Amino acid sequence: MNAKRIYRLYSEEQLIVRTKQRRKIARRQRGTMAAATAANQCWSMDFMSDKLADGRSLRILTVVDQFTREWSVWKPTAR
């Protein structure tokens, strides 16, 4: 059934028609990030997770220099 038919049937029975609220669209233009031009200028970090063969989960915090693409810190935590 389409929305028009449901609206017509609800209106005939004098019921309240609930309509979906539309999401607001971002109106501003998003800025671009400047690329790193030297080492130690811009860093990225992320959590990575995986499962070990025995079923335990493994989470690793990775910190990467965006210019050299080198890892600097990693801290594994097995659960």
Confidence (pLDDT) at 74? 58
Enclosing domain of residue 63: 39-79
Report pTM. 0.46
Confidence (pLDDT) at 15? 85
In a domain, 34, yes or no: no
- Per-run averaged pLDDT (10 residues), the chain, 79 residues: 85 80 78 85 90 92 88 62
- For residue 57, the surrounding DSSP H or E stretch is strand 57-65
In a domain, 58, yes or no: yes
Confidence (pLDDT) at 72? 67
Cβ-contact 36, 67 below 8 angstroms: yes
In a domain, 75, yes or no: yes
In a domain, 43, yes or no: yes
**Cα–Cα distance, 67 to 42 (Å, whole number):** 7
In a domain, 57, yes or no: yes
In a domain, 1, yes or no: no
Q: How many domains does the chain have?
A: 1
In a domain, 25, yes or no: no
In a domain, 6, yes or no: no
